[in-house]
């Protein structure tokens, strides 16, 4: 598989303070998000407010990513806090509509 990125994306990767090991794994974020959404269907179907649901999905996804890939980082370090903020922003920017559609489908019972 060949991945092509733009010059601005490359510049963002190089200039970012977020650790390379986090930025290198952004393509896994969607897989972990999908797993989290499946988990949320089973255990958090009672959440009626989308924004509470969104925060819970992001929190759970970051937690799964931490234990799956980044547990060698101290979870109270500035490095991890920057990484978690980066992951949160990435999920909001790239998967907001996907999460919203998933939430609405579950509320409609589809």
Average pLDDT of the segment spanning 45-69: 86
In the chain the first and final C-alpha atoms are separated, in Å, by 34
pLDDT over 80 at 75, yes or no: no
Residue 44 has pLDDT above 90, yes or no: no
Q: How much is the mean pLDDT over the chain?
A: 80
Helix (H, G, I), strand (E, B) or coil at 96: helix
Torsion on CA atoms 47, 50, 52, 55, rounded to nearest 10: 120
User: What pTM value is reported for the model?
Assistant: 0.75
Residue 16: pLDDT band (50, 70, 90) is low
**79/2: higher pLDDT:** 79
Question: Mean of the pLDDT values across residues 49-58?
Answer: 89
């Amino acid at each position: 598989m060949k991945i092509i990125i733009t010059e601005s994306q490359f510049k963002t990767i190089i200039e970012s303070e977020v650790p390379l090991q986090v930025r290198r794994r952004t393509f896994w974020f969607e897989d972990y998000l999908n797993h989290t959404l499946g988990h949320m269907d089973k255990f958090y179907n009672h959440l009626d407010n989308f924004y509470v649901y969104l925060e819970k999905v992001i929190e759970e996804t970051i937690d799964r990513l931490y234990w799956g890939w980044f547990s060698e980082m101290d979870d109270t370090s500035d490095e991890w806090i920057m990484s978690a903020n980066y992951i949160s922003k990435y999920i909001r920017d790239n998967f907001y509509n996907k999460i919203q559609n998933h939430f609405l489908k579950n509320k409609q019972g589809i």
